[in-house]
C-alpha cells in the first residue's frame, strides 16, 4: 500500500504498515548509492526510492562475502542501464528487521522477494523502475 510521501527531519520516529516499507514518510536525506557498509535505516533508504532508485535488502548468512561480491558485480552491470541523471541509482543494504526472503528488491510502492541472487531479474527490476519515484532526481 502507498504509505504517503511526507518528508521529515532525520531522527523523527517513523512507523510503517508494511515491513519492509517501500513507500511512506521518510527522512530528508538518503544514503549514497552503491553497496552500503552499514545497515541503512528505512527512513533514509525511502528517500533513495522516492528519488527513483531501487533498494536491495538482504540477509547476510555464512556466505556473506560471496553474496556481497555478486552485488558488486550487479552494481557494475547496472551502470550499463541508461539513467537520465547519469547515475547508478541502486542502494544495496542489509536490513534490521525480518525479511520475507533472503533478498528483497524494492522500488517506490513495489517489492520483489528473491530466494537467491538472480542478476538477470535484478537488472530487469532496475530497468523497469529506475527514475520512476515520486520525486525523481539525482
Exposed, middle or buried by CB within 10 Å (0-12, 13-18, 19+), for 80? exposed
In this prediction the pTM is 0.94
**Which of the residue ranges 3-7, 16-20, 84-88 would you say has the lowest mean pLDDT?**
84-88
Q: Enter the C-alpha cell of residue 113.
A: 522477494
Indicate the pairing of strand 90-94 with strand 54-58: parallel
The mean predicted confidence, pLDDT, of the chain is 93
Given a contact cutoff of 8 angstroms between Cβ atoms, the answer to whether 91 and 50 are in contact is: no
Reported as a single tens digit per residue, the pLDDT across 80-119 is 676 667 889 999 999 999 999 999 999 999 999 999 999 9
Given a contact cutoff of 8 angstroms between Cβ atoms, the answer to whether 106 and 70 are in contact is: no
Using alpha carbons, select from 91, 96, 108, 95 the residue that is nearest to residue 4.
108
Amino acid at each position: 500500500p502507498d504509505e504517503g510521501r511526507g518528508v521529515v527531519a532525520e531522527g523523527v520516529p517513523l512507523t510503517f504498515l508494511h515491513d519492509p516499507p517501500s513507500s511512506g514518510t521518510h527522512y530528508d536525506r538518503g544514503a549514497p548509492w552503491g553497496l552500503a557498509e552499514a545497515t541503512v535505516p528505512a527512513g533514509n533508504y525511502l528517500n533513495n526510492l522516492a528519488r527513483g532508485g531501487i533498494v536491495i535488502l538482504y540477509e547476510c548468512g555464512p556466505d556473506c562475502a560471496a553474496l556481497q561480491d555478486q552485488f558488486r558485480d550487479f552494481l557494475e552491470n547496472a551502470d550499463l542501464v541508461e539513467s537520465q541523471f547519469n547515475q547508478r541509482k541502486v542502494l544495496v543494504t542489509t536490513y534490521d528487521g525480518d525479511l520475507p526472503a533472503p533478498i528483497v528488491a524494492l522500488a517506490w510502492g513495489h517489492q520483489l522477494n528473491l530466494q537467491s541472487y538472480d542478476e538477470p531479474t535484478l537488472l530487469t527490476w532496475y530497468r523497469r523502475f529506475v527514475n520512476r519515484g515520486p520525486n525523481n532526481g539525482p
